[in-house]
Amino acid sequence: MNDNRTPVTVLGLGRIGATIAEIFLRNGHPTTVWNRSADKGTRLAELGARRAPTPAEAIAAGRLVVVAVADTGGAAALLGSTPGGLDGRTILNVATGRPDEARALGVALSGRGGYFLDGGILGVPQTLGTPDTLLVYSGSPIAQAEHADTIVELGNAKYLGADAGLAGLHDMAVLAGMYGMFGGFFQAVAMVGSENFTAGEFTDSFLVPWFRALLDMLPVLAAEVDSGKFPVNYSDLAVNQAGLANIRTVSRTQGVPTDLLDPLQRLFDAEVERGNGSASFTRAVAGLIGSGAASRN
């Protein structure tokens, strides 16, 4: 163990927490661990971790305390029920959660003399500690300055600024994009599945090549959005309005409902009605932002 390395603590030794503790141990950090059910610390203890009997003792042993329980609400409950001041320690929450929960946790911990960073892991245990995991984090700039070199050991770490809510927002937005892609995947394989084509053959031969090509187009589409003018690089809104209506008709004809696609059609329809049919179909983003206020709760 190298005494120059930041002493770290990991609370919560599930798939993510145990992997984080293992990375820290491998990198020579004095590492203390705690888990609600005691059995999960056994393997890490064999690798050199110190097992603390209580969360309070675990926190006391670390300068950087990573919390990896089920969600941010669980992290807040765990930390809230753990007595004692934090005396300049940093809590890095990597459990998934909402920005408002992260901000509230930051305020509560700073009232106890600690610093708070909220993190979102865009990766899986197998990619933690490699550039294939994107770790977005935000919160105390003092904590970031002290611990950036340790946090980067967990992956491709991107600090988003002092607002503790920004990491959760980015995490959730990326996951929203992911579910959009999954929704499209579900719809597509159901449509060809209605004629007994397997999801596997359709995905390999058609969806994957097309999705790969689309990924290269995203930066161009993002530039259309950022310009605020929605110039057409690929396709205008009116064409996509008609195209999506056709896709939905074919889907229904095949006996596959279109609930996943209908909201997008409504968005295209509304933007065309507003007179934006000749703008790029990315104009839909302006429609989303404009109509979001009423549904923020």
Residues that bind ligand NAP (CB under 6 A): 12-17, 35-37, 40, 68-71, 74, 77-78, 94-96, 121, 124-125
Q: Which is nearer to ligand NAP, 15 or 266 (CB)?
A: 15
DSSP secondary structure of 174-233: HHHHHHHHHHHHHHHHHHHHTTT--HHHHIIIIIHHHHHHHHHHHHHHHHHHHHTS---S
What is the closest distance, in whole angstroms, from the C-beta atom of residue 8 to ligand NAP in the complex? 16
Long-range contacts of 238-241 (CB under 8 A, 24+ apart): 238/272, 238/277, 238/278, 239/281, 240/268, 240/281, 241/265, 241/268, 241/269, 241/272, 241/277
Beta strands in the chain (DSSP E): 8-11, 31-34, 50-51, 64-67, 90-93, 115-122, 130-139, 155-159
What is the closest distance, in whole angstroms, from the C-beta atom of residue 69 to ligand NAP in the complex? 4
What is the closest distance, in whole angstroms, from the C-beta atom of residue 231 to ligand NAP in the complex? 36
Q: Which residue is nearest to ligand NAP (CB)?
A: 14
Residue 287 belongs to what H/E stretch? helix 284-291
What is the closest distance, in whole angstroms, from the C-beta atom of residue 165 to ligand NAP in the complex? 16
95 contacts 43 by C-beta, under 8 angstroms:
no
Q: Which is nearer to ligand NAP, 13 or 221 (CB)?
A: 13
Strand partners, 120: 136
Two tokens, residue 61: 């042993």
What is the closest distance, in whole angstroms, from the C-beta atom of residue 226 to ligand NAP in the complex? 28
Q: Which is nearer to ligand NAP, 21 or 284 (CB)?
A: 21
What is the closest distance, in whole angstroms, from the C-beta atom of residue 71 to ligand NAP in the complex? 5
Q: How far apart are the first and last CA of the chain?
A: 49
CA pair distance 234, 247, nearest whole angstrom: 19
Can you list the alpha helix ranges (DSSP code H) found in 88-140?
99-110
Q: Which is nearer to ligand NAP, 43 or 229 (CB)?
A: 43
Q: Which is nearer to ligand NAP, 16 or 244 (CB)?
A: 16
SS3 content of the chain, % helix, strand, coil (to 5): 55, 15, 30
Q: Which is nearer to ligand NAP, 106 or 277 (CB)?
A: 106
Q: Which is nearer to ligand NAP, 68 or 166 (CB)?
A: 68
Q: Which is nearer to ligand NAP, 110 or 127 (CB)?
A: 127
What is the closest distance, in whole angstroms, from the C-beta atom of residue 282 to ligand NAP in the complex? 29
What is the closest distance, in whole angstroms, from the C-beta atom of residue 23 to ligand NAP in the complex? 14
Whose CA is closest to 118, among 134, 151, 94, 83?
Answer: 94
- Residue at token pair 């097309």: 210
